[in-house]
Structure 1
C-alpha cells in the first residue's frame, strides 16, 4: 500500500487540492490526514466550553472541503479537539461530525500515526548548516517501529533509541537526525530494530508538504508542491 500522508492543512482548500493532485499523480493508493485539517477560530485565551458559541464563531464552514476530507482516513489533531470542545452536540452533524469523530491514532502497516500534540516538544540540538527544529521528548513517545506525526510544522527524520536505552552522555536518551531530501526515498525498518520518527511537514504552506509512505517497499519519500505545479 502506498499512503499519501498529510498534516496541518488548517482548512486551506487550495493547499489540499495541490497535495491531493500531486499524490494522485505519484500513485498514492490511500490518503491519511494527521490532524489539524481544520482551523479553530477561537484563540486559546478565549477557549471555554462554558460559553455559548455559534458554529461560525468556532470554525469557518467549507462544505466542499469538509466533504472531501470526510472521504479519507483522518487522525484527530488539537484543532479538531478544540472545535469539538467548543460546540454543542446538536451543532455537530453531517461531514463535520465525521471530521470531529476521528481517532487519535491510526496504524498504517508497521507505522503508527498521530498528530503529535499528545507529547511535549523542545528545541533540538544545534547543528551547523541544518535549520533549527523542535524535537519530541523521547521518553513520552510510544514504543513503535515507525511513528509519523505533524503538529510542529516541520519536516524531520529521527532515528530513535530503544525505549529506555541511555545511549547518550549522563545516561540520557539521544535521537540521531537524518537529512530530509524531498523526492529521495528513505528506507524504514518495520521490524522495530531501528525505530524512526517521521515528521511530515505542513500542508498549509508554500510549498505544501506531504509524505509518500510505501508500506510494501518499506520507504518514505518527502514531497513538496508549489501552487500551480507538482514538483519534488
Structure 2
C-alpha cells in the first residue's frame, strides 16, 4: 500500500489541491491527514472550554474542502480538538462531525501516526548552517518502530538510539538526524531494533510538504508539491 501522508493543512484548499494532485500523479493508494487539517479562528490564549461560540467565530466554513477531507483517513490534531471544544453538538453535523470525530492515533501500515501535540517539543542544537530544529521529548514518545507526526511544521527524520539499560529510569536516548532530499526514497526497517521519528512537514505552505510511504517496499519519500488545481 502506498500512503500519501499530509500534516498541518490548516484549512488551505489550494495547498490541499497541490498535495492531492501530486499524490495522485505519484500513484498513492490512500491519503492520510495527520491533524490540523482545519484551522481554529480562536487563538489558544482566548480558548475557554466553558463558553460555546458560534460556528463562524470558531472555524472558516468550507463545505467543499470538508467534504473531500471527510473521505480520507484522518488523525485528530490540536486545531480540531480546540474547534470541537468550543462548539455545541448541534453545530458539528455532517462532514464537520466526521472531521472532528477522528481518532488521535492511527496505524498506517507498519507506522503509528499521530499529530504530535500529545508530547512536548524543545529547540535543540543542530549542525552549522542547518535550520533550527524542534526535537520532541523522547521519553514521552510511544515505543513503536515508526512514528509519523506533524505539529512542529518541519521536515525531520530522526533515528532514535536507546543507550539506557532496560531498568534505567532516565531512558537515555540519542537521536541521529538523517538528511532529507525531496524525491529520494529512504528505506526503513519496521522490524529492526531502532525507532524512527518522521516529521512530515507542513502542507499549508508553498511548496506544500507531504510524504509518500510505501508499506510494501518499506520505504518513504518526502515530496514538495508546487502546483495543483485551485
The TM-score range, normalised by the shorter chain, is over 0.9
Aligned to 1:191: 191
The correspondence of residues 46-61 of structure 1 with structure 2, limited to 5 A, is 46-61=46-61
Distance in structure 1 (CA, Å) of the matches to 2:99 and 2:227: 26
Structure 2 residues without counterparts, runs of 5 or longer: none
Find runs of 4+ consecutive structure 1 residues off by over 4 angstroms.
Answer: 163-166
TM-score of the aligned structures, taking structure 2 as reference length: 0.94
Partner of 1:108: 108
Stretch moving more, 188-197 or 77-86: 188-197
- Hey, what's the Cα distance between the residues in 2 that align with 1:211 and 1:25? 13
Q: Is the 8 A contact 1:110 1:190 kept in 2?
A: yes
For these two proteins, the number of residue pairs brought into alignment is 226
Distance 1:165 1:227, change over 3 A: farther
- 1:16 paired residue number: 16
Where 2:220 maps in the other structure, the secondary structure is strand
Alignment of 1:71-82 (within 5 A): 71-82=71-82
Residues 1:194 and 1:51: Cα distance change in structure 2 (over 3 Å): same
Q: Tell me if the contact between 2:21 and 2:228 (Cα under 8 Å) persists in the aligned partners.
A: no
TM-superposition CA deviations, 1:95-134 (whole Å, max 9, x none): 0000000000000121000000000100122212322110
- Structure 1 distance, partners of 2:16, 2:160, is 31
Question: How far, CA to CA, are the matches of 1:72 and 1:174 in structure 2?
Answer: 35
Matches of 2:40 and 2:118 in 1, distance apart? 18
- Cα distance in 2 for partners of 1:193, 1:185 equals 21
- Kept after mapping to 2: 8 A contact 1:143/1:163: no
CA deviations 1:74-105 (Å, max 9, x no partner) are 00000000000000111110000000000000
Cα distance 1:38–1:163, how it changes in 2: closer, same or farther (>3 A)? Answer: farther
Deviations 1:9-42 (A, max 9, x none): 0000000011000000000000000000000000
**TM-score, length of structure 1 as denominator length:** 0.93
1:8 shift after superposition:
0.1
Please provide the CA RMSD for this pair: 1.7
Query: Gaps (5+ residues) in structure 1?
Result: none
Q: How does 1:33-52 map to 2 (within 5 A)?
A: 33-52=33-52
Q: CA deviation at 1:173?
A: 1.7
Cα distance in 1, alignment partners of residues 113 and 59 from structure 2? 25
Separation in 2 of the partners of 1:38 and 1:171?
35
Preserved contact between residue 116 and residue 151 of structure 1 (Cα < 8 Å): yes
1:1-232 to 2 correspondences below 5 Å: 1-162=1-162, 164=164, 172-227=172-227
1:144/1:192 contact within 8 Å kept: no
**Secondary structure at the counterpart of residue 82 of structure 1:** helix
Question: Residues of 1 paired with 2:163 and 2:17: CA distance?
Answer: 39
